Amino acid sequence: MSQSSSTQVVSGVLFDVDDTLVDTKGAFRHALSTVAGEYLTADAELGAILAFWRADRHGSYRAYTRGEMGSREQRMRRANDLHAEFGGPAMSDDAYDAWDSVFEQAFRDGWRAHDDALECLDALDEAGVVYGALSNARLDYQVDKLAAVGLRRVPMLVGVDTLGFGKPDPRVFLLAAERLGCVPTQTVYIGDELDIDALAATQAGLQGYWVDRFGDDDLAAGHRDVGVARITSLGEFVGRIEANVTFASAPVLDRARNRLK
């Protein structure tokens, strides 16, 4: 969907989880701060450590989402890469297990919902619009995450383990829309990554929205060229749909709700 004033028909909304509903960047900051204090010797700013982790320069996480490696393997590769960059020891399987226990507990302790998530869900509830979540993480893991941050009301519909692969494959978007009970063209998908979220959803036939919470100027300059809408918060999304959306009829919404029971 382009950023136009034309009216869109919406029968349901699909959310990405990490850095869309949940402040995962903040949780990673908390986890990496803990790891740095126990394992890393280089005199580096936490911001640099966080940026290195999120950059995932060898693409291990995306390989995991393509079904090319398991969750443990991708995180162990990234952990050892982090240590190589910032002065930590190379880790064997046993050493990594101890590291991951520290990392995972600190990561979970840092989980928080974004401040605008509840506002957005309340607005959709008031409008009678169904919603759910689609993620490139494991389904049960994301169920736990949503519950932990007070967003249990968001049903997890598709995870990376549902089909054995994740976004940007169009099949995951289409399955999530089907499970939501909505046709793809009347389904909004909101995610924080321009390429594998908003653009991929648009190419799959959904209405893709890119939530650019952190102000990525390089991507923002070209987002119009790929035909997706850019928002900077879920609150902005609420304002847009109130102005430019016609909600689907009650029978459509009833069918969608029944699919979620």
> What pLDDT, in 10s, does the model give residues 206-238?
999 999 988 876 666 655 666 788 999 999 998
Say yes or no: 143 and 242 in one domain.
Answer: yes
- What's the burial of 64, exposed, middle or buried (CB within 10 Å: 0-12/13-18/19+)? buried
Q: How many domains does the chain divide into?
A: 2
Say yes or no: 18 and 70 in one domain.
Answer: no
Say yes or no: 147 and 178 in one domain.
Answer: yes
Q: Is residue 193 part of a domain?
A: yes
Q: 28 is in which domain, residue-wise? A: 24-109
Say yes or no: 255 and 142 in one domain.
Answer: yes
* pTM summary value: 0.86
Per-residue pLDDT reduced to its tens digit, 62-84: 999 999 999 999 999 999 999 99
**pLDDT recorded at residue 248:** 54
Query: With 50 as the cut, is the pLDDT of residue 38 above it?
Result: yes
Per-residue pLDDT reduced to its tens digit, 93-140: 999 999 999 999 999 999 999 999 999 999 999 888 999 999 999 999
Q: Is residue 36 part of a domain?
A: yes
Question: Domain boundary residue among 88, 109, 130?
Answer: 109
CATH (domain of 172): 3.40.50.1000
**Mean pLDDT score of the chain, rounded to an integer?**
89
